[in-house]
Amino acid sequence: MSPDIYDHIVKETVRYATASRNKPDFVFSVDEWKSLIGILLLSSYHKLPSERHYWAKDEDLVVSIVKKAVSRNKFQGLKSVVHFCDNADAENNNGDKGFKVRSLISKLQKSLIQHGVFEECISVDEMMVKYYGHNSLKQFIQVKPIRFGYKRWALCGTSGYCYNFDLYCGTNPQLDKNDEIALGSKVVLKMLEANCGMTYVGTVRANKKEVPGEMKDVSSRDEGSSAFLFTDNMIQVSYVATSSKKKKKNVLLLSSMHTLPSLGNSGKPEVIEFYNSTKGGVDALDQMCAIYSCGRSTQRWPMCIFYGMINIGGINAWVIYSENTTASLNRRKFMQVVAKAFIKPWAQQRKAALRHPIVRSAQQRNAARHASTAPSVTSLCVSATTIPCVLIVSQKSSRGDPPEPEECGNYRTWPRDKRRAS
Is pLDDT at 316 greater than 70 in this prediction? yes
For residue 322, the Cα-to-chain-centroid distance in whole angstroms is: 22
Q: Where are the domains of the chain?
A: 1-83+325-374, 201-256, 380-422
- Residue 38: its pLDDT value, please? 92
pLDDT level of residue 381 (50, 70, 90 thresholds): very low
Is pLDDT at 420 greater than 70 in this prediction? no
- Residue 402: its pLDDT value, please? 52
End-to-end CA distance of the chain: 68
- 3-class SS at 367? helix
Q: 91-128: string of b/e by CB count within 10 Å (b at 16+)? A: eeeeeeebbbbbbbbebbbebbeeebeebeebbbbebb
Query: Mean pLDDT across the stretch 122-136?
Result: 84
Query: In 3D, which of 99, 97, 78 has the Cα closest to residue 10?
Result: 78
For residue 321, the Cα-to-chain-centroid distance in whole angstroms is: 21
Query: Mean pLDDT across the stretch 388-416?
Result: 47
Query: Mean pLDDT across the stretch 301-319?
Result: 90
Which of these ranges, 175-184, 200-209, 387-396, has the smallest mean pLDDT? 387-396
Query: In 3D, which of 340, 407, 320 has the Cα closest to residue 45?
Result: 340
Residues linked to residue 150 through DSSP beta bridges, in sequence order: 129
- 3-class SS at 237? strand
Is pLDDT at 7 greater than 70 in this prediction? yes
pLDDT level of residue 397 (50, 70, 90 thresholds): very low
Per-residue pLDDT of 228-285, as tens digits, reads: 888 888 888 888 887 766 677 888 888 888 878 788 888 888 888 888 888 888 888 8
- Residue 391: its pLDDT value, please? 42
Mean pLDDT of the chain: 78
Which of these ranges, 13-27, 189-203, 353-367, has the smallest mean pLDDT? 353-367
DSSP state of 239: E
Is pLDDT at 356 greater than 70 in this prediction? no
- Residue 339: its pLDDT value, please? 92
- Dihedral, CA atoms, 297, 300, 303, 304, nearest 10 degrees? 60
pLDDT level of residue 378 (50, 70, 90 thresholds): very low
